[in-house]
Structure 1
Amino acid sequence: MTHFWLNEVVSVHTLFPGLFPDAKFANQVVTTYRLANHLNTSAFLSPRSYLCKKDELFPLDQYVEELPTNVTIHYIHVQPFKVRVGGKFAETEECPQDFLTTTTEPPYPVTTESPVIPVGHFVLQDDKGQTCLLANFGAMFRVEYDLTSQGMIRNAIYVLPANCSVSGFCGEEAVHVTLSFDTAFNLSASFSSDGKVFKLVSLSVGYVRSPDHFPDAMYPDTGDIEELTNLTLVTTDVGKSYLCKEAGVIKVGASVVLEVLELQIQPFDVKNGRFGEASECNNDIPTTNASYTVVPASSVLPTNPTTNMPTLPPPSGPTEPLQGNYTVHDAEGKVCLLADFGLQLRINYTRQNGKIATGVVNVPVNAEVSGTCSNTHSSLTLLFYDETFNLTISFAMSKNKAGSKTSHWTGLHLSFEEAPSIFPGTKRINDPRLISNTSLDLLTTSAGKSYKCNADVNTTITKDMAILVRLVHVQAFDVESGQFSASEECVQDSKGSVDKTAITVVGVILFIIALSIAVVGVVGKRKAQKMYVRLPSLLD
């Protein structure tokens, strides 16, 4: 019986000052990290796959006079030999660390999800109550911190909530805005203007190493503020808004990496509470100087230079979406979300000739399903096409002024790779993309009931994406015994049934009227015949 094990970890990087401030060997290429011949990992049987949900740390040596580097692997599932036809993992053998606190496997599949980045709408008002700054964007923070274990480092990852509190001030030459959340977390930005153009001049990120976001921190509940100053970013004419849909990454201070997506912002001369004409970013992300780093998000994704990105086969089957049946379980293994529908994504992309085309993606019925549930928020995540498409649909429960509760489809987040088989002639072959909207209001239904619609639901998500939802039956809250509750029909279905009833009623009424006219005509004719009496001829 054969075994496999992890034999070597190699890392190649350059000590750029923007990422490695005050490095002794600035701009030097560090080509090799290595730890002996066999790393401290267990051997596992082949042809099985290896799964470990717990973090695994590997201290690595290097060949320059710098401190050792630590590599932490978060949630690994790997099979390097004898992979089955079809690209599926073989039987899984899990690492011992995953079973330190339990002796039995969970009753339902458990997955580790990447955080969904919500896109929020933020408004700052001046002392007169007038809107002076508008901003739409989503943000994710990666903050490096020390663990209680000596020499170990980890990244805390969290997102900017869409419901942050907004504060700051507005002036003719300067605007400062702070977005605060979770008591002690915030993101601040300062803008300046000369009356003709405005620019972003500084950023700061404040955080506290709370146990929720920074588990096992060496210095728990301590705070820091990381700053980045002397910037000249998002330069735009006053009266216009700066628009950059593409995701970008910027390093703030020594420990924070900030990822921003779907950005539109206007800090000066806002009129009628609306964005001015949009000035789109040049190539999505501007070039910056060496004191800080802003790069397209795709350039910081982990890649292997010897491995090509996967090329997806053309979507097989019918051109229309098939109805899938998707189920989400809560922490106790109970069904908490039911969704039956067919989904078709229509995504705009740019061809190599510069023209805009549309790629059509039908979500397969066998997509990998995961999600979350609570009393006020639920989500459904569908992973498909060899995990190159990740679609998350968010639901929320809200209460109106009368006190009644309703559930809504409120958000959609899609990350995917622009594969040529789905996006023929694409200019961005296999590049990652993100599309997100957190201000949707779809599939509204009363609490305790399910939403059902036989009519097609067509919705525009962003300027680059529309979605078709077919034969939908959804219940995101209050699921009992794993079954749909009584359903509320969509307006489209209700209108159809009313129209049919109206046609039937009108037909019956017209028939009665016609019959009445005929009867009246016959009776009238007979009465008229009785009234006529033949008079003798005057000639007789």
Structure 2
Amino acid sequence: MEPRRTVAALFIACFALLGSTQAVSLEVKEGNTTCIRAELSASFSITYNTSSGTSMVDVSLPDSAAVDPAESSCGTNGSPSWLVAVFGSGHALQLTFASNGSVYSMANLSLQYNLSDSSLFPGSNSSDVVTVVSSSLGIWATLNTTYRCNSPVSFNVGGVTVTFRDMRLEAYMPGNDLSDTESICTADQAMTTAPPTTNSTTTTATTTAATTTAPAPTPPGTPDRGRYSVLNGTGTECLLAHMGLQLNVSYFSRPQNKTIQSLVNLNPKLVNSSGSCEATTALLTLTQEQSVVINFTFTLNASTSRYHLSAISLFANWPDMTRPLLTGNASLNYLQSTLGHSYMCNAERVLAVAPDFSLNTFSLQVQPFDVTSNQFGTAEECQVDRDQMLIPIIVGATLAGLVLIVLIAYLIGRKKSHAGYQTI
């Protein structure tokens, strides 16, 4: 009987595991029109306090999760929209989306969990309802495009690890069905296998082609400096950015049949800027001929009156790509400055974003908050610029010191030579 019980327990565990990873389908409707649809599996690793210490549980979004129509919204005139899924005893997952007219993104994610639910949090010494919130997660796509990510991707949201997998979603939908056009996440692109090996009759030719060295591309040089801004609802500039931008991107090139690293300058004459300004977040979106879209997210810490560049995401679709590249990072800490001031860095700076993408900036000055009279505030310079200013000062001071030492030595020597003579 004991082996049978063991086998039965294993079957039950397997079925429980399969059930916990099953994708849930959620949609937000306005009348008969669907504006947000999400098909995904989600799990949450939560640590909570017990009378004997701490405990951690893994909670999955169950099949019974349902959209709360009273709390969800499609938004109007490009305003944020959100999907609220409720489950269990007082638990909820909210996905908030924003759009700038060309792309949509998951602006933030919030999770509410009820510690008084003993079925999920056994032994909890609290009955609080806890809410954790995260800013932009780097999940975005162009409008009329489905965001797809089958690979598991985890985010830290207020101490809770949120993991999505088998995700297909779209916001600001023009129809009731997900678009056939898909933007594939970086994790899925990394899983793509290399092209199959050719048979023996073509091995020699393939080897020869592989060993042929292609001419090195000409470096693009220093990019032109663009002047970009974002307007608020009254038509006043609420974000200013003057900078030259150069993309350093790795992707699989179809003509070369290999992964290449490419430097591409952004051309300000071909770039349109857009975005939004909120109390503690600001978004700048730069779009170049629909082939490149870059999102910059700035976050303000109201308690310290300091802001920083917290997220960068990139969509690139060049003719030699096997598929569009969608990459980014929502946990950055660049371009720090004080509210009411601008951040300035004339020197070239490399912003590491993701394994396949870094951004080179030139002659940069940016201010995402508290812009007055469409002008930059007092500039806070980057460390590199300050160091470069110190070098001539140090050199000048050193030379002055050497001159002074030589002069003192000369005067002492002259005084000694006079002391050697006696008056007759």
TM-score by length of 1: 0.45
Query: How far, CA to CA, are the matches of 1:351 and 1:453 in structure 2?
Result: 33
Q: Deviations over 1:484-523 (max 9, x none)?
A: 1111111111111122111111111110110110111122
Q: Which residue of 2 aligns with 1:167?
A: 46
Q: Give the counterpart of 1:414 among 314, 330, 336.
A: 314
CA positional deviation for 1:147: 3.9
Give the 3 Å change call, closer, same or farther, for CA 396–530 of structure 1 in structure 2.
Answer: same
Gaps of 5+ in 1: 1-140, 170-174, 179-187, 190-201, 227-245, 250-256, 267-272, 276-284, 286-292, 305-314, 421-425, 534-540
Higher relative CO (Cα under 8 Å, sequence separation at least 6) belongs to: 2
Query: How far, CA to CA, are the matches of 1:492 and 1:215 in structure 2?
Result: 44
Is the contact between residue 250 and residue 261 of structure 2 (CA under 8 Å) also seen in structure 1? yes
For 2:70, the aligned partner's letter is S
Q: Which residue of 2 aligns with 1:154?
A: 34
| SS at 1:504 equivalent | helix
The aligned runs of 1:379-418 (5 Å cut-off) are 379-384=283-288, 386-399=289-302, 403-418=303-318
Q: Give the counterpart of 2:27 among 138, 144, 153.
A: 144
For 1:391, the aligned partner's letter is I
Q: Which residue of 1 aligns with 2:125?
A: none
The aligned runs of 1:286-325 (5 Å cut-off) are 301-302=179-180, 319-325=221-227
CA positional deviation for 1:355: 3.9
| SS at 1:500 equivalent | helix
Q: Which residue of 1 aligns with 2:69?
A: 209
| SS at 1:530 equivalent | coil
CA positional deviation for 1:439: 0.9
Give the 3 Å change call, closer, same or farther, for CA 333–158 of structure 1 in structure 2.
Answer: farther
Give the 3 Å change call, closer, same or farther, for CA 382–438 of structure 1 in structure 2.
Answer: same
Is the contact between residue 26 and residue 39 of structure 2 (CA under 8 Å) also seen in structure 1? no
| SS at 1:478 equivalent | coil
Give the 3 Å change call, closer, same or farther, for CA 466–159 of structure 1 in structure 2.
Answer: farther
Which stretch has the larger CA shift, 319-328 or 475-484? 319-328
Is the contact between residue 209 and residue 223 of structure 1 (CA under 8 Å) also seen in structure 2? no
Gaps of 5+ in 2: 1-23, 49-55, 77-82, 89-137, 171-177, 183-216
The question of 1:520 aligning with 2:380 is answered: no
Q: Which residue of 2 aligns with 1:122?
A: none
For 1:177, the aligned partner's letter is D
Q: Give the counterpart of 2:262 among 339, 346, 359.
A: 359
Is the contact between residue 345 and residue 466 of structure 1 (CA under 8 Å) also seen in structure 2? yes
Q: Give the counterpart of 1:177 among 58, 63, 76.
A: 58
Q: Which residue of 1 aligns with 2:229?
A: 327
Q: Give the counterpart of 1:373 among 264, 267, 277.
A: 277
The question of 1:337 aligning with 2:337 is answered: no
Is the contact between residue 371 and residue 379 of structure 1 (CA under 8 Å) also seen in structure 2? yes
The aligned runs of 1:36-185 (5 Å cut-off) are 143-148=26-31, 152-156=32-36, 167=46, 177-178=58-59
Q: Which residue of 1 aligns with 2:395?
A: 503
Query: How far, CA to CA, are the matches of 1:325 and 1:468 in structure 2?
Result: 16
| SS at 1:167 equivalent | strand
Is the contact between residue 349 and residue 358 of structure 1 (CA under 8 Å) also seen in structure 2? yes
Query: How far, CA to CA, are the matches of 1:479 and 1:247 in structure 2?
Result: 28
For 2:274, the aligned partner's letter is S
Q: Which residue of 2 aligns with 1:484?
A: 376
Query: How far, CA to CA, are the matches of 2:280 and 2:39 in structure 1?
Result: 19
More helix by share: 2
| SS at 1:479 equivalent | coil
CA RMSD of the aligned region, Å?
4.5
CA positional deviation for 1:143: 3.7
Query: How far, CA to CA, are the matches of 1:262 and 1:486 in structure 2?
Result: 45
The question of 1:475 aligning with 2:356 is answered: no
Q: Deviations over 1:151-193 (max 9, x none)?
A: x231326899xxx996368xxxxx8535xxxxxxxxx35xxxx
Is the contact between residue 340 and residue 377 of structure 2 (CA under 8 Å) also seen in structure 1? yes
Give the 3 Å change call, closer, same or farther, for CA 259–393 of structure 1 in structure 2.
Answer: same
Query: How far, CA to CA, are the matches of 1:383 and 1:419 in structure 2?
Result: 17
Is the contact between residue 342 and residue 469 of structure 1 (CA under 8 Å) also seen in structure 2? yes
Is the contact between residue 245 and residue 361 of structure 2 (CA under 8 Å) also seen in structure 1? yes
Query: How far, CA to CA, are the matches of 1:223 and 1:503 in structure 2?
Result: 64
Is the contact between residue 248 and residue 260 of structure 1 (CA under 8 Å) also seen in structure 2? no
Give the 3 Å change call, closer, same or farther, for CA 145–525 of structure 1 in structure 2.
Answer: closer
Give the 3 Å change call, closer, same or farther, for CA 379–212 of structure 1 in structure 2.
Answer: same
CA positional deviation for 1:526: 2.2
CA positional deviation for 1:445: 0.7
Give the 3 Å change call, closer, same or farther, for CA 449–516 of structure 1 in structure 2.
Answer: same
Which structure has the bigger radius of gyration?
1
Query: How far, CA to CA, are the matches of 2:84 and 2:380 in structure 1?
Result: 50
